A = this chain, B = another copy of it.
Amino acid sequence: MQPLKIGQAAREAGIGVETIRFYERKGLVPQPPRPRDGGARDYGGDTLWRLKFISGAKKLGFSLAEIAELLELRTAPNAGCGEMQTKARAKRNDIQARIEGLVRMRNVLDELIATCPGHGEIRQCSIVDAIEGNGTN
C-alpha cells in the first residue's frame, strides 16, 4: 500500500494541507514518521481517521480543545474503561446542554419568523423589536 500523501489526505478529510500541519503542531494528530527512503510521509490509516474525526467534530461545533478530549477517549490506555465511561458521560452532558441552548435559539427564531408578516416596511418588522428585547435578558 503506497503512502497517502498529505495533499490526498487533506482532500479526503475535506480540509487544507496547511490545516493538517496546524493540527500536527497542536498535537491533535501525530506527524507520521518520514520513511527511511526519504519519500513523503504516510497520512493514511489512523492519521486519516483522526483528520476525518476532527473535521466531523468541528462541524458539530466542538472546539479543538474539546476534540482533543474526544480523541483521548479512544487513545487512552486499554486499562480502564470505567474512566473513559465517565468522560463519555461528561461529554454527553456537555452536548446535551449545547443542544438545549441551540433549541432555545431555534425556537426564538421560529417565533420571530412566524410573527413577521414577511412583507411591508422594516419599521414594522416584529423581528427587529424582538431581537432588541432578547438583549436585555
Contacts and interface: CB of A to CB of B under 8 A. Distances in A.
A98 B82 CA distance: 29
Interface string A49-73: 1011111111111000000001001
B14 A60 contact: no
Interface of A: 12-14, 49, 51-61, 70, 73-74, 76, 78-85, 88-89, 91-92, 95-96, 98-99, 101-103, 105-106, 108-110, 112-113, 116-125, 127-128, 131-137
A81 B132 contact: no
A13 B131 CA distance: 12
Interface of A is mostly: helix
A116 to B, nearest CB: 5
A39 to B, nearest CB: 26
B122 A60 contact: no
A81 B120 contact: yes
A49 B132 contact: yes
